[in-house]
Amino acid sequence: MTTESLVDLAALGEDFTRDPYPVYAELRALGPVHRVLMPEGTPAWLVVGYEAGRELLADQRLSKEWSRASPALGVSKVSAGTSMLSSDAPVHTRLRKLVTREFTPRRMDQLAPRIQVLTDELLDTMLAGPGRGTDLVEALAFPLPMSVICELLGVPFLDRQAFRQWSNIAVSSLDAQERVSATTSMTAFLAGLIEQKRSEPGDDLMSALIHTADDDGDGDRLSGDELMGMAWLLLVAGHETTVNLISNGVLALLNHPGQLAALRADFGLIDNAVEETLRYEGPVETPTYRFTTEPLDVGGTVIPGGGELVLVAMADANRDPARYADPDRFDITRDARGHVAFGHGIHYCLGAPLARIEARIAIRSLLERCPDLRLDADPSKLRWRTGMLIRGPLSLPVTW
């Protein structure tokens, strides 16, 4: 069967932005597939529930290529260039192979001491400031991942505030013209960055990506368009998700004093606390767009082919009671393995090891340095990122 009843998520306003989980749960009770109008006004097919969502994340009949999008959708690509996030196999396979050698879990582990130093410096600055409070997004959650990815890519000269503004607009704004303008500005900046790295290579990831060739001996390298796509992907995805993973983790702990006390009593739980944060309040609500290449039958509902937009509600999949007992309870002692916060299938997040390391170090160090840390705002009054891609508070007032 097919369904044409439209759920207008845009009409739900800030309530949905702040807490989408009850809406997703209601939809899940009715079935795995729903026709929705996104907050930015785009029609889409929303897939809820763990089983259906995980299956579709790995279904290569759904294309990540924007050329597959139906013109009737009226959507335009946010990022520039060709990246792993906007390509299918075999192009995706080739791009991932070229990047993986420079982005190994071992290389990420070797960054841990430097991440600790950067974290300590940020906390020193925060605690030396006037007063006994701050916005944790500004003081720690944003500058730490941004510093790490800039050092990794070799761009210490990056105008971080300008870049942050472009990035925030590009991934969260509901205004199409704003997104186009931010994308144009960021693309111009990245083009200059790539040219500088091409002429003055260093011992960094961006230089390595420019000059890398695969081991097959055929001299394969990233093209200019692919370098642009990779720079965009690594700089934006490399900081946006981790900013909100740190913010969401701290907020969840402060909102659950029993869990916070358990972690303070045993920091051996820190890895588990990060995994539970990813499950309970992951930084990506729905992944980047996928488009149908043929009709798909999902739980008895047929999603038409022809470039229809399909969104997998990863936030709902991770709170499906069919997969996790008492899923709306934040419990850092639960086995949260199997969550899809980093996706599933060939597009599983390449930066997952780095995000985990940063969140682990940032949250533990913050709690050790601030034994009486507490939220300095009414949780229900916090403003959240708009759009359905990135999930996290715009600011996180804390005091100690």
358: left (phi over 0), alpha (psi -120 to 50) or beta: alpha
- CB count in 10 Å sphere of residue 231: 29
User: Contact at 8 Å (CB) between 25 and 316?
Assistant: yes
User: Contact at 8 Å (CB) between 332 and 90?
Assistant: no
For the chain, where are the E strands, in sequence order? 6-8, 33-37, 43-47, 62-63, 133-135, 290-292, 296-298, 301-303, 309-312, 374-375, 397-399
**The pLDDT value given to residue 233:** 84
pLDDT tens-digit readout, 93-143: 988 988 887 777 787 888 999 999 999 999 999 999 888 999 999 999 999
Antiparallel, parallel or unpaired: β 290-292 and 6-8: unpaired
Asked whether residue 22 is domain-assigned, the answer is: yes
**The pLDDT value given to residue 215:** 47
Say how many domains are in the chain.
Answer: 1
**The pLDDT value given to residue 168:** 77
d(CA 339, CA 315): 9
Asked whether residue 312 is domain-assigned, the answer is: yes
Asked whether residue 50 is domain-assigned, the answer is: yes
DSSP state of 141: I
Among 373, 383, 376, 366, smallest CA distance to 397 is for 376
Antiparallel, parallel or unpaired: β 62-63 and 296-298: unpaired
74: left (phi over 0), alpha (psi -120 to 50) or beta: left
pLDDT tens-digit readout, 299-358: 999 999 999 999 999 999 999 999 999 999 999 999 999 999 999 999 999 889 999 999
CB within 8 Å of 190: residues ≥ 6 apart: 80, 228, 231, 232, 235
Q: Is residue 181 packed enough to be buried (19+ CB in 10 Å), middle (13-18) or exposed (0-12)?
A: middle
**The pLDDT value given to residue 232:** 83
Handedness of CA 281, 283, 289, 290 (dihedral sign): negative
Asked whether residue 208 is domain-assigned, the answer is: yes
Asked whether residue 1 is domain-assigned, the answer is: no
Asked whether residue 137 is domain-assigned, the answer is: yes
Residue with tokens 């279904």, as numbered in its chain:
59
User: Contact at 8 Å (CB) between 291 and 310?
Assistant: yes
CB within 8 Å of 15: residues ≥ 6 apart: none
Asked whether residue 20 is domain-assigned, the answer is: yes
CB within 8 Å of 96: residues ≥ 6 apart: 84, 346, 350
Whole-number Cα distances in Å, 112 to 232, 279, 367, 387 = 24, 23, 18, 32
CB within 8 Å of 152: residues ≥ 6 apart: 111, 204, 205, 234, 238
The low-confidence residues of the chain, meaning pLDDT below 70, are 1-4, 78, 156-158, 212-220
d(CA 358, CA 229): 24
Number of H helices, E strands in the chain: 17, 11
Give the CATH number, domain containing residue 380.
1.10.630.10
Asked whether residue 191 is domain-assigned, the answer is: yes
How many alpha carbons lie under 13 Å from residue 16 in its C-beta half-sphere? Answer: 19
Beta bridge partners of 390: 284
What is the domain range of residue 229? 6-399
**The pLDDT value given to residue 340:** 98
- The structure's pTM equals 0.92
Among 56, 46, 60, 40, smallest CA distance to 6 is for 46
Among 239, 335, 232, 341, smallest CA distance to 281 is for 341
The first and second tokens of residue 111, run together, are 């960054």
